[in-house]
Amino acid sequence: MKFTFELIKKDSSARLGRAHTPHGSFNTPVFMPVGTKGSVKGMTPDELTGMGVEIILANTYHLYLRPGHRLVKELGGLHGFMSWSGPILTDSGGFQVFSLGKLRKITEEGVQFSSHLDGARCSLTPESAIEIQEALGADVIMPLDECTPYPADREYTVNSMNLTHRWARRCKDAKIPNGQALFGIVQGGMYTDLRRESAGALVDMDFDGYSIGGLSVGEEKELMQEMIAATVPLLPQDKPRYLMGVGTPEDLVYGVEMGVDMFDCVMPTRNARNGTLFTRFGKLVIKNAQYEKDPRPIDDGCGCYTCRNFSRAYLRHLYMAGEMLAPRLNTIHNLFYYTDLMARMRQAIGEGRFNEFKKDFYGQRLHTEDI
């Protein structure tokens, strides 16, 4: 089955859609929980589907290093390996290599780097990034790109962007016609004209969807929003738009308002492990002493397993005691919050009241005394 995308309805720029993949469909706008190493930390596949998760993300860099893409392919591909029957998106590993800093060297051919596991010398090229993702068997795959650092001067950003474009063409040429969707990745740093140039170059290459990369890398929120607003209108209406590695609930609402369809971020799972929980009123830090005797759930408007069964006082006790159940229950809540937020946005777009939803969303965040 070939990847397809249908745009169902628009409410101003916000979009309601549905993507079809070889492993089922998913509704957009959508948040994809991050399963970096083939596992959404602390969660079983049944727990994810039970809270409405339809698509997850896994990481090419980490799975390439361990256990290796050939082993994953031998054991049934990533779907069979991790017992996840729904769609999977894999990133190319470009951002992880970017994060290695001095441990990596970028050339025209690709990236040479030292494994963070054992220091072994490794390499990724546009062709090998595609080969690895084909072996993993993900439904949506990404080309190798250079994530432009922030800050970066214009000359560096231009060269980085053009390298990403050349790599994108090589990835497209290397990909076999197997039903996997290949998305282009828009770069251009924090320069609106370069973002527009990058979007135009990638649209001319005719990818199955388009990603906006190189954001949430240390820039101010207003600058990130400026880049999103400059880029999204230039991407095709009939193909999905994916904002990579972003972000907070506020970022998701802003992105949907601008016309973004897909999001991923480690924030809900990482924050859960650190004891920070998301509520309709803002963040709740469960280790704070004020919750020691608090009998309320994290959010009395939440229907997740954690909120239906446990008090803030108990969750604080688990966290302070270092119990392994603490990050599990926190993760269940945070992922449910993100998944439910996207479902409510989809409903609002379908009913033509996204602007009303947005006002209610921000209005509730003014009541910080309720946290």
DSSP β-bridge partners for residue 181: 140
In-domain check, residue 145: yes
Q: Are residues 204 and 336 in the same domain?
A: no
Please report the beta strands in 45-175, taking only residues with DSSP state E, as ranges in sequence order: 56-59, 88-91, 104-106, 111-114, 121-124, 140-141
Residues 356 and 321 both lie in one domain: yes
200 within domain boundaries: yes
> Per the domain annotation, does 371 fall within a domain?
no
Q: What confidence score (pLDDT) does residue 114 get?
A: 87
Contact 258, 242 (CB under 8 A): no
C-alpha–C-alpha distance, residues 262 and 2, integer Å: 19
Same domain, 250 and 289: no
Domain count of the chain?
2
Note whether 295 and 176 are same-domain residues: no
Residue 10 and residue 99 in one domain: yes
Residue matched to tokens 């893409």: 69
Are 202 and 332 contained in the same domain? no
- Other beta carbons within 10 angstroms of residue 300's beta carbon come to 10
Q: Which residues pair with 70 in a beta bridge?
A: none
- Res 168: pLDDT: 98
Looking at residue 170, its pLDDT comes to 98
Q: Nearest to residue 27, comparing CAs of 306, 344, 313?
A: 344
Q: Are 53 and 286 in contact (CB under 8 A)?
A: no
Is the domain of 248 the same as that of 357? no
What's phi and psi for 303, nearest 5 deg? -105, 15
Are residue 214 and residue 290 in the same domain, yes or no? no
In a domain? residue 357: yes
pLDDT mean values, one per 10 residues, the chain (371 residues): 96 98 98 97 98 97 96 98 98 80 88 90 95 98 95 98 98 96 98 98 98 96 98 98 97 98 98 98 98 98 98 98 98 98 98 98 88 84
In a domain, 370, yes or no: no
Last residue of a domain, one of 238, 264, 290: 264
The residues near 24 (Cβ < 8 Å, ≥ 6 apart) are 54, 85, 86, 87
- Kindly give the interhelix angle for 221-231 and 249-258, rounded to the nearest 10 degrees: 20
**pTM of the shown model:** 0.97
Separation between Cα atoms, residue 349 and residue 336, nearest integer Å? 20
Q: Rounded to an integer, what distance in angstroms lies between the CA atom of residue 147 and that of residue 322? A: 36
CB 200 within 8 A of CB 156: no
Residues 126, 204 within the same domain:
yes
Structure tokens at 72: 């994953």
- Residue 367, judged by CB atoms within 10 A of its CB (0-12, 13-18, 19+), counts as exposed
Residues 208 and 295 in one domain: no
Q: Which residues are catalytic?
A: 91, 264
Per-residue pLDDT, 370: 77
Question: Tokens 């290599």, residue?
Answer: 97
Which amino acid belongs to residue 227? M
pLDDT recorded at residue 98: 72
Residues 223 and 294 in one domain: no
DSSP 8-state secondary structure symbol assigned to residue 225: H
Domain that holds residue 168: 4-264
In the prediction, which pLDDT does 94 show? 77
Q: Is residue 202 part of a domain?
A: yes
Identify the domain boundary among 248, 264, 280. Answer: 264
- Residue 138 lies inside a defined structural domain of this protein: yes
CA 39, 56, 263 angle in degrees (round to 5)?
130
Give the CATH number, domain containing residue 140: 3.20.20.105
Whether residues 54 and 155 fall in one domain: yes
Cβ partners under 8 Å of residue 156, min gap 6: 148
Please say which residue of 231, 264, 297 terminates a domain.
264
